[in-house]
Amino acid sequence: MEQSGMMITAHNVKKMYRSGQLRVEALQCINLEIAEAEIVAIMGPSGCGKTTLLNCLSGLDTIDEGDVFLRGWNLRDLSDRERTEYRARHMGFIFQDFNLLPVLTAVENVELPLLLAKVPSRQARKRALEMLDLVGLAARASHRPAELSGGQRQRVTIARALTNNPAIVWGDEPTGNLDSETALEIMQLLQQLNREQGQTFVIVTHALEVGRMSHRIIRMRDGRIISDEPNTPT
């Protein structure tokens, strides 16, 4: 167990994909540290390895070489079951496509991860309503996704990601399906949550406006980090 004081630490991480005789180095010698309560944007052209990096840092995907530490725990030392449990307890995920179940209401979508984690139904409903209130959607708790705007659906996704009070929230193009005004509102909400709750946000994005609202901008090309610069959020 590494005591680095960092939320996320990656040492010489490599990830390769193989298809027959073809071998593609998706990540090459990634070295990275992300501190607690940072908002970090990972940027670069399509196919540069942004989402692969997010998946490897979060333990959704395995690595071929190197080490990834989350709050000092080396993912290599954890079994598949232990990694799954760690994600459920300490992480939240926000995706571009919302991934909401259309037959469930907003509050039912938000409470679902808690119910799957065997949290009592009354406690899960209370927590889900609190999270919807936090993202400004308490009045829409009984609405299904089809009855919500894109921005409202993404707020439900954020509420769901926060139900377990995660230390780290991962976002893969969380504003990718939103117009510029709604994207700004979502990023302002993430900034507010970061200030008020101290959560770490790691966001993969193509949008420069999203990068400008982060504390750091990490740029990638061809599976490598080519720059890592501090930023003053707008």
Helices (H) and strands (E) in the chain, counts: 7, 10
Is 2's pLDDT higher than 70?
no
Q: Which two three-digit tokens encode residue 39?
A: 């908002």
Report the pLDDT averaged over residues 11-15.
97
Residue listed under structure tokens 């960092």: 6
CA torsion sign, 72 to 30 to 183 to 114? negative
Q: Name, in order, each residue with C-beta under 8 angstroms of 85's C-beta and a sequence gap of 6 or more.
A: none
pLDDT (tens digit per residue) in 134-179: 999 999 999 999 999 999 999 999 999 999 999 999 999 999 989 9
189-193: long-range pairs with CB below 8 Å, 24+: 189/135, 189/136, 189/155, 189/158, 190/39, 190/158, 191/39, 191/233, 193/134, 193/158, 193/162
Stated pTM of the model: 0.93
pLDDT (tens digit per residue) in 92-101: 999 888 889 9
CATH, domain range 35-62+78-230: 3.40.50.300
Q: Name, in order, each residue with C-beta under 8 angstroms of 2's C-beta and a sequence gap of 6 or more.
A: 9, 69, 72, 74
Q: In angstroms, how far is CA 96 from the centroid of its own chain?
A: 11
